[in-house]
């Protein structure tokens, strides 16, 4: 289908008129004044032209959109926060089921639950739950959408204390390929509920997510501390050693990055490789200050911004560095260990890269994430000691393919310590990502896909192909 497909050529004006008349939300087509703004996704590496964007006002619109896409044989992209790195939430010539207008949330402070619609970002979600001093593991960048994030797993600052985001999902409503609304929980469609927690958007369009919440903040001990390149190996080895004994309340990340020209970093460091160690202590501030102290003395810091801060401020701290509209390539892998040789490999790879923004994030795993059994949810890599996210980013296309190649080469160089992928941290669509799940998990995922989406209507994701569609 042509990249500039007009829905009128493909579908017919009368049919589109009928669709529009049955929606409470908004239908956007090529040529409409808001089309270009509506088709844009966070990662500008994916510049696609859907035939239709259905801005859903509620569940009824999602049901109508799914039914329409199926009956017209259109490719379906489902969108929440539009942060898919791989560009799954857009399509050339297909239909985008855009849930971003669905922003409702109800917080039950007594029962510590939130029921949230899929169009919310973490910023909006945290805003509502923090009013009661509650939170669930959310994204490191608060503009990310809750839906895609949760369905893929969900790695964030509360990971070690509260588990992955998907570990805190209590139930979800979703519209399956036959246009029906189902509730999935431990008690209803438990096979589907298992698959939704790590299996991504393969099984339907989610219209509501119910989360378990935890007391967090509003003030936490958190923030980043930065070290110079000359101390890089010592700092990473020191951080790695500390992770062996860190309390579950403390979730940290070590980042090998090119220092951005920000006022809180000394000018001579700008444009140079530096190491950032960032963390959040999900507990009393005084305990956090004590627990985080060793992270601040791994060498002589060039900037130490750790201290008491609102949890919501920490959630938004990195937002200015990760705005929409640049070209991005991410590739992630789980690491079972981080020996000195792996640290040296990462430092050498970083030095070899040329991207304007290139970052190697080492998320510390373990804690509550590791206490869920490998078969308990579709997110099976419970024993990963670290999750590595390799990021190349540039403002435009120039050099981007080379930078993406660097990210792939870095991933390959880390193969000796890799144990599997993470669907949310990848730019490459491909069956191998889900097939890299443990065999038991993959077999179960296919069985659930066969049952709820046998024609593979929902295929713009790390796709689990149903039997008969191989
Ligand atoms: C700047 C940035 C920071 C990030 N930080 C983190 C991080 O800290 N931790 C982490 O774990 N991940 C992180 N990610 C990855 C993120 O989890 C995924 O990109 C996730 O898919 C984003 O969700 P979304 O709703 O914004 O995306 P969208 O692009 O809207 O959706 C992505 C995919 O999720 C599925 N999906 C979305 N909504 C629905 C729905 N309603 N029903 C069914 N399926 C749906 C679809 O398959 C869709 O293609 C980050 C990504 C970016 C770009």
Q: Identify the pLDDT of residue 13.
A: 85
Atom of ligand 1 nearest to the CA of 77: 49
Largest Cα span, the chain? 69
Q: Are 389 and 118 in contact (CB under 8 A)?
A: no
Are the beta carbons of 119 and 54 closer than 8 angstroms?
no
Sign of CA dihedral 324, 327, 331, 337: negative
Evaluated on CA atoms 197, 201, 202, 206, the torsion sign reads positive
**What does the pLDDT read at residue 7?**
61
Strand partners, 41: none
Q: Is the CB of 158 under 6 A from ligand 1?
A: no
Res 3: pLDDT: 44
Please say whether the beta carbons of 223 and 307 come within 8 A: yes
Cβ(228) – ligand 1 distance below 6 Å: no
**Both tokens of residue 454?**
């046998």
Q: How far apart are CA 63 and CA 297, in angstroms?
A: 55
For residue 98, list its beta bridge partners: 55, 79
How many angstroms separate the alpha carbon of residue 201 from the centre of ligand 1?
10
What residues have CB less than 8 Å from 402, skipping those under 6 apart?
Answer: 354
Q: What pairs with residue 257 in β-bridges?
A: 274, 359
Nearest of 332, 328, 402 to residue 361 by alpha carbon = 332
DSSP 119-147: T-BHHHHHHHHHTTTEE----SSTTSBHH
Question: Which residue minimizes the CA distance to atom 43 of ligand 1?
Answer: 205
pLDDT value for 115: 98
Interhelix angle 13-21/59-72, nearest 10 degrees: 160
Copy the structure tokens of residue 397.
Answer: 């296309």
Cβ pair 438, 380 in contact under 8 A = yes
Long-range contacts of 123-131 (CB under 8 A, 24+ apart): 123/315, 123/316, 123/319, 126/311, 126/312, 126/315, 127/312, 129/213, 130/216, 130/217, 130/218, 130/310, 130/311, 130/312, 131/107
Q: Is the Cβ atom of 25 under 6 angstroms away from ligand 1?
A: no
The arrangement of strands across the sheet holding 26-28 comes to: 26-28, 52-55, 95-98, 76-79
Tens digit of each residue's pLDDT, the chain (470 residues) = 344 456 656 678 888 999 999 999 999 999 999 999 999 999 999 999 999 999 999 999 999 999 999 999 999 999 999 999 999 999 999 999 999 999 999 999 999 999 999 999 999 999 999 999 999 999 999 999 999 999 999 999 999 999 999 999 999 999 999 999 999 999 999 999 999 999 999 999 999 999 999 999 999 999 999 999 999 999 999 999 999 999 999 999 999 999 999 999 999 999 999 999 999 999 999 999 999 999 999 999 999 999 999 999 999 999 999 999 999 999 999 999 999 999 999 999 999 999 999 999 999 999 999 999 999 999 999 999 999 999 999 999 999 999 999 999 999 999 999 988 888 888 877 656 565 667 789 999 999 999 999 999 999 999 999 998 77
Joined together, the tokens standing for residue 20 give 């529009």
Residue to substitute in 59, 91, 120, 145 for testing ligand 1 pocket (most ligand atoms within 8 angstroms of CB): 145
Q: Which pLDDT belongs to residue 6?
A: 61
pLDDT at 101: 98
Query: H-helix or E-strand containing 279?
Result: strand 273-281
Record the pTM: 0.96
198 Cβ inside 6 Å of ligand 1 = no
Q: Separation of 147 CA from ligand 1 center, angstroms?
A: 7
């Amino acid at each position: 289908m042509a990249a500039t497909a007009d829905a009128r050529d493909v579908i017919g004006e009368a049919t589109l008129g009928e669709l529009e008349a049955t929606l409470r939300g908004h239908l956007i087509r090529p040529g409409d004044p808001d089309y270009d703004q509506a088709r844009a996704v966070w990662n500008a590496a994916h510049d696609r032209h859907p035939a239709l964007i259905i801005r859903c006002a509620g569940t009824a619109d999602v049901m109508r959109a799914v039914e329409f896409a199926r009956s017209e044989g259109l490719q379906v992209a489902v969108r929440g926060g539009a942060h898919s790195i791989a560009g799954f939430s857009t399509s050339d010539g297909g239909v985008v089921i855009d849930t971003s207008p669905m922003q409702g949330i109800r917080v039950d402070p007594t029962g510590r639950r939130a029921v949230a619609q899929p169009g919310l970002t973490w910023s909006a979600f945290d805003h509502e739950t923090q009013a009661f001093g509650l939170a669930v593991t959310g994204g490191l960048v608060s503009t990310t959408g809750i839906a895609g994030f949760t369905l893929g797993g969900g790695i964030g600052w509360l990971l070690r204390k509260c588990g992955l985001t998907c570990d805190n999902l209590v139930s979800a409503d979703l519209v399956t390929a036959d246009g029906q609304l189902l509730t999935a929980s431990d008690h209803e469609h438990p096979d589907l509920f298992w698959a939704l927690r790590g299996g991504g958007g393969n099984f339907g369009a989610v219209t509501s997510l119910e989360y378990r919440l935890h007391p967090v903040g509003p003030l936490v001990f958190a923030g980043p501390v930065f070290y110079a390149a000359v101390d890089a190996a010592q700092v990473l080895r020191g951080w790695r050693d500390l992770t062996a004994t860190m309390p579950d309340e403390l979730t940290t990340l070590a980042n090998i990055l090119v220092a951005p020209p920000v006022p809180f970093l000394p000018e001579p460091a700008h444009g140079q490789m530096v190491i950032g160690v960032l963390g959040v202590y999900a507990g009393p501030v005084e305990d956090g200050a004590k627990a985080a102290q060793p992270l601040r003395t791994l060498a002589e810091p060039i900037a130490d911004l750790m201290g008491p801060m609102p949890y919501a401020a920490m959630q938004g701290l990195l937002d200015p560095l990760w705005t929409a509209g640049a070209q991005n390539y991410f590739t992630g892998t789980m690491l079972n260990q981080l020996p000195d040789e792996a640290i040296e490999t990462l430092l050498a790879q970083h030095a070899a890269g040329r991207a304007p923004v290139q970052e190697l994030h080492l998320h510390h795993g373990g804690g509550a994430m590791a206490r869920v059994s490998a078969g308990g949810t579709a997110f099976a890599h419970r024993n990963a000691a670290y999750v590595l996210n390799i990021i190349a980013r540039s403002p435009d296309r120039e050099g981007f393919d080379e930078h993406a190649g660097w990210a792939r080469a870095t991933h390959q160089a880390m193969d000796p310590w890799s144990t599997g992928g993470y669907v949310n941290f990848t730019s490459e669509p491909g069956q191998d990502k889900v097939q890299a799940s443990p065999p038991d998990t993959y077999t179960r995922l296919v069985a659930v896909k066969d049952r709820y989406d046998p024609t593979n209507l929902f295929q713009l994701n790390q796709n689990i192909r149903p039997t008969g569609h191989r």
